[in-house]
Amino acid sequence: MALMDRSLVQKVIERLSQAKAPALFTHLRPDGDAFGSLLGLAHVLKDRGQTPTLHVEGSMIPMYRFLPGSDLVQEIPDQFPTAADAFVVLDTSTRERVGKKTVGWKQPVDVVIDHHVSNPGFGSLNLIVPEIPATAGVLFQLFTTAGWKISPASATCLYAGLSTDTGSFRYRGTNAQTLRIAASLVELGADPSEIAKHCYLSITKERYHLKKLTSETLSLKDNEKSGFLTILPDFYSKSGAKSEDTEGIIEEVTSIQGLEVASLFEFGSDGTLRVSLRSKGRVDVNAIASPFGGGGHRAAAGIRFPKDAEKNRDLVLAAISRAIADLKD
């Protein structure tokens, strides 16, 4: 518990306890930690007699429907829900990433719970713990401190979040404490092999096809220390895949021997560009993303550009080249 400010944790516990009907949100293009944290918190609050509502831009992703309570997840409403008495945001590094519809809301964010080092703290209470590699892990520590019961359903959701955000406990940041949290969640009812089956061994053939098309675009540069992939707008019509199917494609490039940085450039049909960056750990990709208004972690970061896709792709590639040139072997 040394990692978390005790008085802040106490305030978060009090604020969450006070709410009869907290509205829980996470980031757009949600991943395993986003859904796992959202549902993990929802189960605990429901077990305490509260009635949380759960909101995600674009609603539930099929891959994560195995998570207990996934039918509770709703599309984000046009306005902040009138019956809600707390605005809680999980695993989301900026206010904008809560979702397009929410950006104009006057309702202030009450509680932010996150692990992104780049999070500026956009709530009244901000429990941001970069030392824990997943928001699900931050929630576990919070529940333990509060003495709140973690049901098998909640443990399953939190374990899924912790497992996916650490790349199955492989990424830098995974430490003894991470594994202790995982062990506790297993004791509380999470089934590692069952969760892994859903998170890692269940891709659709459309996703496989998108991955194949994207893999063929691989370009190695910087003396084969960096590599990038490109997704063109027509890859979706060719493969039948959806935008969430890009998750994980970049990891395979990162695994190439000798490679330090992998990037993926997704060109939208509307001129936008979405960039994903991954590092084996020597290069800080959060530092590459930040000057462009992006962010994330040392080993994984992202950037979004509303226009000038090709120009911005070249600028990011140049920044990667400079970061690699700065490495001392």
The residue ranges that bind Mn ion (CB under 5 A) are: 33, 91, 135, 165
Do 4 and 129 form a contact (C-beta atoms < 8 A)?
yes
91 or 266: CB nearest Mn ion: 91
Q: How far apart are CA 58 and CA 324, in angstroms?
A: 37
Minimal distance in Å, beta carbon 135 to Mn ion? 5
- Residue 302: φ, ψ to 5°: -145, 160
135 or 141: CB nearest Mn ion: 135
Q: Which residues pair with 25 in a beta bridge?
A: 55, 89
Minimal distance in Å, beta carbon 91 to Mn ion? 4
127 or 323: CB nearest Mn ion: 127
Torsion from C-alpha of 123, 63, 243, 234, nearest 10 degrees: 180
Across 239-248, b (16+ Cβ under 10 Å) vs e yields bebeeebbbe
Do 92 and 118 form a contact (C-beta atoms < 8 A)?
no
Q: How far apart are CA 280 and CA 256, in angstroms?
A: 10
Minimal distance in Å, beta carbon 240 to Mn ion? 28
Nearest to 320 by CA among 293, 295, 291, 283: 283
Minimal distance in Å, beta carbon 227 to Mn ion? 24
Rounded to 5, what percent of the chain is helix, strand, coil?
A: 45, 15, 40
Minimal distance in Å, beta carbon 198 to Mn ion? 18
Do 148 and 156 form a contact (C-beta atoms < 8 A)?
no
113 or 259: CB nearest Mn ion: 113
Q: Give 291's contacts (C-beta < 8 A, 6+ positions apart).
A: 319
Minimal distance in Å, beta carbon 235 to Mn ion? 26
38 or 86: CB nearest Mn ion: 38
Nearest residue to Mn ion by CB is 33
171 or 235: CB nearest Mn ion: 171
165 or 260: CB nearest Mn ion: 165
Provide the token pair at 136.
């699900």
Minimal distance in Å, beta carbon 190 to Mn ion? 17
